[in-house]
């Protein structure tokens, strides 16, 4: 335990979820009038500021990425935290800690690169069957992370939502989740959706139950049930783009593990052998470049 603590102090010093947000620089949000000002000097000045504005926006995106092809919504299965720890002879808890830091880096990159929604699979409804000490550690990590970063989320324009059945979580975590969700709900730079005690099958089942109830109550008729209506009833209805454009799964497993089963119908998939704690900027860039080279046809047109 002492060794673990020492490692934590040396290698896992607390980092902020997001560093100083580049997009909060007033230059980036400066709105210029659509028509040139009357005085030529003012016009030249406006044009110069406009160029700074444009180049600054572009500078946030690494060279191979094209802004118009960026995914709106990225979902991630953060697999391999325990394997990462075991490979290094470390306690599992340190794998989760390192995974948590990788989350912070990814949130920062998504904010900087203009991704609108990031959905993270933090705890599946099957994860309760893990050793109690591990589950307790994860619950503590979620609580500590949310508490420490709340102020920072608020400042960095990050909105937090939770999907899954949070009624089974420790009461203190439930209360904190309510507070974080309320405090950040007006933020619009990046929407981070954390799936905790989540099951994709259960999400579809609860949507069916809700629709069945509406039919029973005479609010709708069976013929009114459509894909659109089902989507409204899924837990991801809290976000602007409910269906992810890109799913990333780390650690070499090629499966969905009950994550966003309906919502991933047309997502592009990116799998990597890296364990989640090792997933950083270079690999995220690779995933996005791969995404930008895909032809998304939604089963309709030929190429
Ligand atoms: C607040 C927040 C979003 C925190 C994130 C912390 C974090 C990384 C959680 C992931 C938990 C989890 C069950 C991962 C699955 O991989 P695994 O650990 O089971 O790895 P394994 O496949 O090697 O066993």
Å from CA of 192 to ligand 1 middle:
16
Query: Residue 123 CA: which ligand 1 atom is closest?
Result: 13
Nearest residue to 207 via CA among 223, 230, 228: 230
CB 159 less than 6 A from any atom of ligand 1 = no
pLDDT along the chain (303 residues), means of 10: 35 31 28 31 39 46 94 98 98 98 97 97 98 98 95 94 97 97 96 98 98 98 97 95 97 98 98 98 98 90 62
Mutation to probe ligand 1, out of 122, 195, 255 (largest number of atoms < 8 A from CB): 122
For the beta sheet containing 117-124, the strands, ordered from the edge strand earlier in sequence to the opposite edge, are 158-163, 190-198, 117-124, 73-77, 246-249, 268-271
Instruction: Give the pLDDT score at 73.
Output: 98
Helix ranges restricted to H, the chain = 2-11, 26-29, 40-59, 81-87, 92-112, 132-156, 171-184, 200-216, 227-233, 281-292
Q: What does DSSP assign to residue 272?
A: -
CB 96 less than 6 A from any atom of ligand 1 = yes
CB 104 less than 6 A from any atom of ligand 1 = no
CB 81 less than 6 A from any atom of ligand 1 = yes
Residue bearing the CA closest to ligand 1, atom 5: 100
Q: What own/partner pairs with CB < 8 Å and gap ≥ 24 does 168-177 have? A: 168/128, 168/197, 169/139, 169/196, 169/197, 170/139, 170/143, 172/143, 173/139, 173/142, 173/143, 173/146, 176/143, 176/146, 176/147, 177/146
Tokens, residue 210:
């809700």
Instruction: Give the pLDDT score at 298.
Output: 86
Tokens, residue 120:
């993270």
Does ipTM surpass 0.95 in this model?
yes
Residue bearing the CA closest to ligand 1, atom 3: 122
Instruction: Give the pLDDT score at 280.
Output: 98
CB 82 less than 6 A from any atom of ligand 1 = yes
pTM as predicted? 0.82
For residue 136, indicate whether it is catalytic: no
CB 190 less than 6 A from any atom of ligand 1 = no
CB 98 less than 6 A from any atom of ligand 1 = no
Å from CA of 80 to ligand 1 middle:
7
Query: Residue 85 CA: which ligand 1 atom is closest?
Result: 23
Instruction: Give the pLDDT score at 6.
Output: 35
Mutation to probe ligand 1, out of 78, 98, 104, 126 (largest number of atoms < 8 A from CB): 78
Give the other-Cβ count within 10 Å of 43's Cβ: 13
């Amino acid at each position: 335990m002492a060794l673990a603590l020492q490692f934590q102090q040396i290698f896992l010093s607390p980092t902020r979820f997001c560093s100083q947000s580049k997009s909060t620089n007033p230059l980036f949000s400066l709105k210029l009038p659509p028509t040139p000002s009357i005085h030529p000097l003012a016009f030249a000045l406006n044009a110069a500021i406009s160029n700074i504005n444009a180049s600054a926006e572009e500078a946030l995106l690494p060279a191979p990425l094209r802004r118009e092809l960026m995914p709106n919504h990225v979902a991630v299965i953060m697999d391999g935290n325990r394997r990462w720890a075991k490979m290094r002879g470390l306690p599992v808890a340190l794998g989760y800690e390192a995974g948590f830091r990788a989350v912070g880096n990814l949130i920062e990159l998504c904010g900087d690169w203009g991704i609108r929604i990031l959905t993270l699979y933090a705890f599946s409804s099957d994860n309760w069957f893990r050793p109690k000490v591990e589950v307790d550690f994860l619950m503590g990590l979620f609580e500590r992370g949310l508490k420490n970063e709340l102020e920072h989320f608020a400042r960095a324009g990050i909105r937090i939502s939770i999907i899954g059945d949070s009624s089974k979580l420790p009461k203190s975590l439930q209360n904190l989740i309510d507070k974080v969700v309320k405090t950040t709900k007006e933020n619009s730079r990046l929407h981070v959706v954390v799936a905790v005690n989540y099951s994709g099958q259960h999400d579809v089942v609860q949507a069916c139950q809700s629709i069945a109830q509406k039919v029973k109550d005479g609010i709708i008729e069976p013929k009114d049930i459509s894909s659109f209506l089902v989507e409204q009833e899924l837990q991801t209805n809290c976000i602007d783009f409910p269906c992810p454009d890109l799913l990333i799964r780390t650690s070499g497993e090629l499966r969905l593990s009950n994550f966003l089963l309906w919502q991933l119908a047309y997502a592009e998939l990116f799998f990597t052998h890296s364990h989640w704690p090792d997933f950083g900027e270079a690999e995220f860039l690779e995933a996005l470049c791969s995404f930008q080279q895909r032809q998304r046809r939604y089963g309709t047109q030929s190429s």
